[in-house]
Structure 1
Amino acid sequence: MVTRINVAGDRPYDVLVGSDLAGELPGLIEGAAQAAILYSAPLRERAEQIAAKCGARALPIEVPDAERGKSIEVAARCWDELGAANFTRTDVVVGVGGGAVTDLAGFVAAGWLRGVRWVPVSTSLLGMVDAAVGGKTGVNIAAGKNLVGAFHPPAGVLCDLDALAMLPADDLVAGLAEVIKCGFIADPRILELIEGDPAGAVDPAGAVLRELVERAVRVKAEVVGVDLKESGLREILNYGHTLGHAIEKREKYTWKHGHAISVGLVFAGALSRLSGRLDDRTAARHRELLELVGLPTAYPQEAWTDLLSAMRVDKKARAATLRFVVLDGLAKPGILSGPDEELLRRAYAEVAR
């Protein structure tokens, strides 16, 4: 069974959730003579399977794994390969992998000939519920994560649940941070499902995880369908991300994204409560849920100065004014602009170890 979730907007597309989805790709890239298949070494076999079924001449391009592949240098190498292959405007870029690979693939597609079609074939939980949906593409630079990129919606998204069975358990758990985020900002049923069956939430063959994927994708699809370019509503998807991205930068992207966002969610819940906008019980529920599935909820106390500096470069900042997504209640996100530094320090004290 394939679930189709529509993402509305000027360039609508479908997110397909199910098993054995490679056969859906030709319908998404109809008319393409060539398909550049971007993948990292651990996913070579899956990329070969996709290439064999894509219905176009495959141009395989291997890129570094995880965040190491999200750089201008790697993107430039990909563009060189597209140029050598006489890649035209009717051709397509396919990203096979987790969020880092699909972010890169979308950015490569957005830059080539000012924008060609692309399709993310997401193989990680994080990619399925976050990176692959919404058309935000980009790479990291020394100043911070995802600071160079483009809004470039895909032709469609394939979330092949079969791939989750091959994920290391730690990667599957890390992806749940973004799922839990969706529960707090929009769909509390997500939180209830995890609390009711935490083992099912990490069972790649189970019905609980499939429902969690579909619910999280629907949350993101509804938001980005209204606000593609993060001019308003889409900011709520960054709940927990301001501190989370700062942690990733400080760790030189050696931390898993989901682990950093998990700490960021606890911080965001604490900030919401300390600013008088969120009740104690919902704030405490952040830590309880994240720890229930084995995600980290603390970070070194001595890191605060570095983290504050990194947050000042966050994409949500306006004219050097820090802005945070907070909660005014469960599934009631809002914005906290220009908070006092002492308030931020007190919130951080609740995740500091």
Structure 2
Amino acid sequence: MNVLKENRLLTKRIVKPRNPAKKMWPSIKRDKYLYLLGLPGILCLLIFKYVPMWGVVIAFQDYSPFRGILKSDWVGLENFQLFFSNPDFFKLLRNTLAINIMSLVFFFPVPIILSLMLNEVRNEIFKRIIQSIVYLPHFLSWVIIAGLTFTMFATGEGLVNKFLVLIGLERVDWLTTPSFFWGFLTGQSVWKEAGWGTVIFLAAMANVDPGLYEAARMDGASRIRQMWNITIPSIQNVIIILLILKLGHIMDVGFEQVFLLQNAAVSDVADVFDTYIYRVGIKQSEFSYTTAVGLFKAAIGLLLVIISNKLVKKAGGEGFY
């Protein structure tokens, strides 16, 4: 009996759950300056990202700014039903998905290819100059990008059309032809953000063991073979994580970029969820209705992240979480 009691006491000591708080507070006290350094960012995240989240309840209400969230009438899924039955729903869905799929196909691989090319440059001075040049457009606002686009492709005074006339060709209505609009958006994104996208991939490539390249060179592998068999597999997890994050934003299109480039001639292919929310929600004060639209976008993005993450794990990858 005494032996049984001792075994039970020993078992309780072994399986006794540890209090995470006892480990957390000494850790915070030890690294208090690091936490203090990160405090502004944490507060910014809480105030502007997490605190406003409870406001999504107005998607299920007939919200009135005068009555407030607590006193507005509850309408359940009525706003969602109105949105899904709206004739504009499929047009918005088509435009949003088309623009994002084009970005996924044509823009996503560009930073990877550019990073692989920069990684092969051995002259450090030349490499830094090229990096600075390709980074520069990221720091330009979309207003400037739109202005440059109009300067280059305007029908009357655009430089491209002037060149076409100079060589004996006819002017092209680049900015008022619907079939060109999605291509312009993708081209703008590539020109502006491709250089900045190389930052993460170059950082991942810097962590590749140089011994792998030396062994490959001793075996007679060319630089292209080294890139294919060493560099790309080494950054595979980074590519997958960024792809999953990209899929999470499949329903998001940069509002400012689309808003600045659209016009009446291309409105049928330029109207996306973001511009629709601005036009109906802000200008027409349909707050509950457009909050439902935004919640629908977020739900689809979250669903795609969960599904893609599970598929990656089933395929043997690490996934996002």
TM bucket, shorter chain? under 0.3
User: Counting helix residues as a fraction of each chain, which structure ranks higher?
Assistant: 2
TM-score when normalising by structure 1: 0.23
Greater RCO, 1 or 2 (C-alpha within 8 Å, sep 6+) = 2
User: Counting strand residues as a fraction of each chain, which structure ranks higher?
Assistant: 1
TM-score when normalising by structure 2: 0.24
Please say which structure displays the higher CA radius of gyration. 2
